[in-house]
Structure 1
Amino acid sequence: MFLNRLKLVVAFFCFLLTFHAAIAQEGDNNAQANNPLANMTALNFQNYFSPVLTNSPSGTYLNNTWVRFATPFFDGKTIFRVSAPLTTINTKQADGTQSTVSGLGDLNAFMAYNFVSSPTATVGIGPNITLPTATDPTLGTEKVQAGFALVAFVAKSPVFQFGGLITYQASVAGNAERQDTNGGAVQPFYFWQLGKGAYLRGAPIWFFNFNEAAYSVPIGLGIGKVVTLGNTVFNLFIEPQYSMLSAGVQPQLQIFTGINLQFVK
């Protein structure tokens, strides 16, 4: 019995080594498809659907669609990214009535200078700003917010890639009657290439509101597919996320989906 189990273990590790070698031959496109600092112009369409919110009546939900555009300049050393959210908030009251608000949220932009830029690792830092462009007070803060963004992506292995995005911002101007903002976010991301463009992924956002002692710490595990057509890399994915820790009104469960496009030079 012991020898049979030992043979199975040896066979399994041989399979892993063979699998790793096969994936390593696929090139860098799949590894770089999820790099936010890649030296390529990118257009992303991403959606967060949150059917369950903590500390909220059953039937309350939130949907955020983000349209993001990123482009490199200065020989690829600097990346500029702008993000526009289209938000829908559906609230169910205790008496059963519902109200829905939809529209544009607050526009965010950051610029990162890559002080580390190599084929296997990229690290950038720069200013982060959010403008009060929301079409309804419920959808935004009515504050100009400023801070910084730090992002890193490591792709030393063609099979495993990882990194993270850290942002911080606080209000510096805006409607004096609205509460000031002071918050940060940490987004770890990790990717495991399965071969033929398929991969497992996780990119949850851990959000911390320092003013209200509110926070959300989700975990995520999903699957994606990278397809290259001509000079365009298409990256499609779906990723369920569940909040392990939270305080305040936060998404308990959300489905993260997206279609990311990179335009190869």
Structure 2
Amino acid sequence: MHLAVPCVGLAMLAAPLSGLAQAAEADRLAQQLANPISSLTSVPLQFNYIDGLGVNDEASRTFLNVQPVVPVSIGENWNLISRTIVPIIYQEGVFPGAGSQFGTGDVLQSLFFSPKALTASGWTWGIGPVLLLPTASDDLLGGEKWGGGPTAVVLKQTPQGWTYGALVNHIWSFAGDDDRADVSSTFLQPFVARGVGQGRTVSASLESTFDWKARQWTIPVNFFYSKVSRIGSQMVSYQGGINLFVDSPAGGPEWGVRFTLTFLYPRR
């Protein structure tokens, strides 16, 4: 009988300690998720809705980006990070008289070679190739062009929970349907994120694209809130936010929303 009191006391102490450990794990995963070239394997399912498309600003596009991120150790000093974007698209009224389209879009595949060690000032970076694959199931869901070019990312994470940096790539088309427009496009994404505890993160970014053929920017300003949590034994991240387009071509989007469910697979 006398053992009951110490056992109850230990159980009461273990509960808050377990909660603290879970919060620390959530913060660690949230920080890794804010780093696009971390050693965290993840599968984001990114749902997007954008409106204000078309000649009368009345068309819309809904798409789900399946974006697996797979880091691979390639030696004592380097990682190779594979980032793939597979879009599944539904659009209506984007092309006058064409009705609606549903199917897969063009796949974007990026590979980053990244050193495992930080620089002396605490920065990390990655560089490699990016490939555009003409996998669209409908002519109006893709460009029907093969493309490629360089991509790079640089960022820094601070003990105070800040992450800031930029990702850039440029794609030139080199093969494909001669009747479709050539591609020469620069993507520039400066980003900043702040961990606010218990696996929560607030972030902002510009997903800017410059079309060198049309000499036109498309610039959405993005604001997001995310939370790392658990579904049973599976660690996940929920994210929601808005896109406000400060510049876009004629018939381009005006605003959008994004919701992302990310499955996380940390190394054990």
2:170 corresponds to: 168
2:223 corresponds to: 221
Amino acid at match of 2:36: P
- In 2, distance between residues paired with 1:155 and 1:87? 34
Greater CA drift, 59-68 or 123-132: 59-68
- In 2, distance between residues paired with 1:157 and 1:69? 27
- Name the TM-score, length of structure 2 as normaliser: 0.81
Pick one of 71, 81, 84 that aligns with 1:82.
Answer: 84
Greater CA drift, 191-200 or 106-115: 191-200
Whether 1:49 aligns to 2:46 is: no
Tell me the alpha carbon deviations over residues 95-126 of structure 1, each in whole angstroms, 9 at most, x when there is no partner. xx781111100111111001464395321000
What percentage of residue pairs aligned between the two structures are identical? 21
- In 1, distance between residues paired with 2:93 and 2:133? 25
Amino acid at match of 1:72: P
- In 2, distance between residues paired with 1:116 and 1:39? 9
Deviation for aligned residue 1:231: 7.2
Pick one of 187, 196, 204 that aligns with 1:185.
Answer: 187
Number of residue pairs the alignment of both structures matches: 240
- In 2, distance between residues paired with 1:92 and 1:209? 19
Change (3 A) 1:117 1:230: farther
Q: Give the gaps of 5 or more residues in structure 1.
A: 1-22
Greater CA drift, 84-93 or 24-33: 24-33
1:208 corresponds to: 210
1:155 corresponds to: 157
Pick one of 247, 250, 266 that aligns with 1:248.
Answer: 250
- In 2, distance between residues paired with 1:26 and 1:43? 17
Amino acid at match of 1:29: L
Which runs of structure 2 are paired with 1:21-100 in the superposition (5 Å)? 28-53=28-53, 56-73=55-72, 74-75=74-75, 77-91=79-93, 99-100=99-100
Q: Give the gaps of 5 or more residues in structure 2.
A: 1-22
Greater CA drift, 203-212 or 142-151: 203-212
CA contact (8 A) 1:201 1:239 kept: no
Change (3 A) 1:197 1:163: same
Change (3 A) 1:236 1:121: farther
CA contact (8 A) 2:32 2:39 kept: no
- In 1, distance between residues paired with 2:94 and 2:134? 26
Deviation for aligned residue 1:210: 0.7
